[in-house]
Chain A
């Protein structure tokens, strides 16, 4: 299953490393990533795939001390074919 997450974090030098470690260790493959630093916050968009439920990962990311928000994005609805 593929999933998209939006993670917001306090800026620390190691914070992205901290998140990526959890992604790997909990059994998810990172397929895409985008990171922005705005003021003192880090915004991270992640695409991951795994046979495991995404709640396992999102719960563990939410638990990280530097993580201020973690949202699993609903998959986009397939667009209906135009006539």
Chain B
């Protein structure tokens, strides 16, 4: 068979039934092999959209996402999505066509050194040098993408390799040993936990990626330890769990940040001390000893030296750390903090208050739902005010903060979970970054719901200009936005615009009960900001709070 046929056969062997991509000259043999095959392809309208759809697919399903692009501009358009997958540890295999080996290095048409470009934005990358390497390389790529700390892997395949003949033989891959946990490390960790009077769990995205949600929940039940989560960790701990304070960090809840600053043991699980989480690192949880658990040994001691660190599968470690704790006074203190700083949704005036609307949306969503966010103020409001049953129900570009993520990620999520209610919450700035993917929704007849929160501003940047740049609003006015409902209509997606708080309930119902895709365009006042906010360089205990002006 041809190399191109072998590519499709490897995908099928890995249970890949959905691929996102865009064809072009150097990947035409693979697209030819795809034609009529058992692997379903979703044509996106930009390679970045295809990359994010693969990310969304992976995050919503726990499987590896796959995307295709051609050489040159096709491959470079994938780069942002790969970087996003790297920073959020998402398993993705990207397959790019490359010009034939005989002309590589001659500046041939649509030739770019994508292997070189990918070095900094993938977990690993390959260029297949000969057809004999092709099948083993693809198997290795799938193994690498999903094993250990997951991430994106790129396989660049020259066109002559795609058309060369081979005898297909599935390789045998050695199964890597899981990192062994020393009993002494477990003993040291247990001793730290047992000695703590004010322990706090700091839960990151690694818990969901490791499939350790159940183990984490059992650990919390056994210890009663109070907890906070990062943006990517949301969903790991159910809303309403005693002592759970929601998100910490720059836009975290006040109770979450204050409690972490107060704790005497910070138990970090699948998280990495991101600067958006810690604020000024030197004063983050200043009195706490640190117990750090992660699959990636390189994260241990990278930013904060732990007192005890264990590099291992969380599924294996967490059950060994369960114990009852005598921390009732601390739990009471945490509950008091939570009560003192609970969100207030009684916003005066007739305008739509986005946090209140998102809380309503959370309450109305069916159990099997996915919320895919874009990046900006709306993203933080979602993180603060919605609640999620599982990490895979909340897709957000956390590490890279990529505008344009939300819509294509929702497409991937809907393909992965066709029966789920998928809502893409976007902002007017982000939405325009990958708006062409409305065509993908139309083509696939996907029932994606789009909640577009529009303040006619690049809101988060504007907020920073207001607070830290003397209200010099440089290039953040987006009031020349298109008519979004008319735009959606051009893609045969129905929708409506709402302006007043009294319209919210009925409009959310209409959106969620509509049969197909739907765009709910929500006009909000540009004066609304995201609070609280830890200013850059400040400690997490120094949160800015400000009430928006009532109108």
Contacts and interface: CB of A to CB of B under 8 A. Distances in A.
B483 to A, nearest CB: 44
Nearest to B297: A59
B298 interface: yes
Interface in A9-38: 13-14, 17-18, 21, 25
B86 to A, nearest CB: 12
Contacts of B298: 59-60, 62-63
B302 interface: yes
Interface stretch (B114-122, B161-169, B391-399, B444-452): B114-122
Contacts, number: 28
Contact of B124 (A13, A17, A65): A65
Nearest to A60: B298
A65 B302 CA distance: 19
A56 interface: yes
Nearest to A53: B301
Contacts of A63: 296-298
B301 A21 contact: no
Given A17-B119, A62-B298, A65-B144, 19 more contacts: A13-B127, A13-B129, A14-B115, A14-B116, A14-B119, A14-B127, A17-B116, A18-B119, A21-B119, A21-B120, A25-B120, A55-B301, A56-B302, A59-B298, A59-B301, A59-B302, A62-B297, A63-B296, A65-B124
Interface string A36-63: 0000000000000000000110011011
19 contacts: A13-B127, A13-B129, A14-B115, A14-B119, A14-B127, A17-B116, A17-B119, A18-B119, A21-B120, A25-B120, A59-B297, A59-B301, A59-B302, A62-B297, A63-B296, A63-B297, A63-B298, A65-B123, A65-B124
Contacts of A56: 302
Interface in B296-327: 296-298, 301-302
Interface string B278-302: 0000000000000000001110011
Contacts of B116: 14, 17
A16 B120 CA distance: 14
Interface of A: 13-14, 17-18, 21, 25, 55-56, 59-60, 62-65
B161 to A, nearest CB: 15
Q: Which 6 A-B pairs have the closest CB atoms?
A: A59-B298, A65-B124, A63-B298, A21-B119, A60-B298, A18-B119
- Bin the interface of chain B by size: 10 to 19
A65 B123 CA distance: 8
Nearest to B303: A56
A65 B144 CA distance: 9
Contacts of A18: 119
Interface of B: 115-116, 119-120, 123-124, 127, 129, 144, 296-298, 301-302
Interface centre among B129, B144, B302 (most CB of A within 10 A): B302
Nearest to A21: B119
Interface centre among B129, B296, B298 (most CB of A within 10 A): B298
B111 to A, nearest CB: 16
Contacts of A62: 297-298
Nearest to A14: B115
A72 to B, nearest CB: 14
Nearest to B125: A14
Nearest to B300: A59
Interface centre among B119, B123, B296, B297 (most CB of A within 10 A): B119
A8 to B, nearest CB: 17
A79 to B, nearest CB: 33
A62 B123 CA distance: 13
A64 to B, nearest CB: 8
Contacts of B115: 14
Nearest to A20: B119
A50 B120 CA distance: 20
A4 to B, nearest CB: 20
A18 B301 CA distance: 23
B265 to A, nearest CB: 23
Nearest to A59: B298
A27 B116 CA distance: 20
